[in-house]
Structure 1
């Protein structure tokens, strides 16, 4: 009979971690990173939308506050 090789739990965990890191590196190699102009354009778009939504929420809060003051 062949001897069974017992692998400790620590070695199994270490092997899984190493495989995970290799998989992450391979996955990052496949990512299509944006160009500088795309990055700037997307950043500006996000900032403008955040400002618009912030103003909208502020106006709604102002309106509901005025409505609350009229009722109570």
Structure 2
């Protein structure tokens, strides 16, 4: 008989626990998460804000360009 894998046994036990097993497993997963440090969060936020500003400027510039092009053509 083949030896069962330890993780397979744990997975089967989790399936048997039902609704509350879901929450127990969720809390186990949350404990294993590597949460970012404060400096990382600040850097990621800064990058996101810069990218949003750049994209906003690009869209604004495109909008101005299309508006001027439409007014040159005579479509208002």
Pick the TM interval, shorter chain: 0.7 to 0.9
What RMSD, in angstroms, separates the aligned Cα atoms of the two structures? 1.2
Shift of 1:17: 2.5
1:6 matched residue in structure 2: none
Deviations 1:32-61 (A, max 9, x none): 111111111111111111111111111101
Q: How do 1:1-72 residues align onto structure 2 when only pairs under 5 Å count? A: 16-71=18-73, 72=75
Partner of 2:11: none
Divergent runs of 4+, >2 A: none
Quick one: higher RCO (CA 8 Å, sep 6+), 1 or 2? 2
Aligned residues: 58
Provide the rounded CA distance (Å) in 2 between the counterparts of 1:68 and 1:23: 58
Unaligned runs of 5+ in 1: 1-14
